[in-house]
Amino acid sequence: MSTTELVWFKSSYSGSSGDDCIEIAVTEQAICVRDSKDVTRPHFAVGRDHWTEFVAFVGS
| pLDDT digits 0-9 by tens, 18-36 | 666 889 999 999 999 998 8
pLDDT, mean over the chain:
84
pLDDT of residue 19: 64
Rounded percentage of the chain residues whose pLDDT exceeds 90: 48
Kindly give, in sequence order, each residue whose CB lies less than 8 Å from that of residue 11, ignoring residues fewer than 6 positions away.
Answer: 21, 22
Give how many domains the chain has, as a whole number: 1
CA distance 36 to 20: 8
Give the burial class of 32: count Cβ atoms within 10 A of its Cβ; 0-12 exposed, 13-18 middle, 19 or more buried.
Answer: buried
User: Would you give the DSSP letter of residue 10?
Assistant: E
Structural domain boundaries, residue 41: 3-59
Inform me whether the pLDDT recorded for 57 exceeds 70.
yes
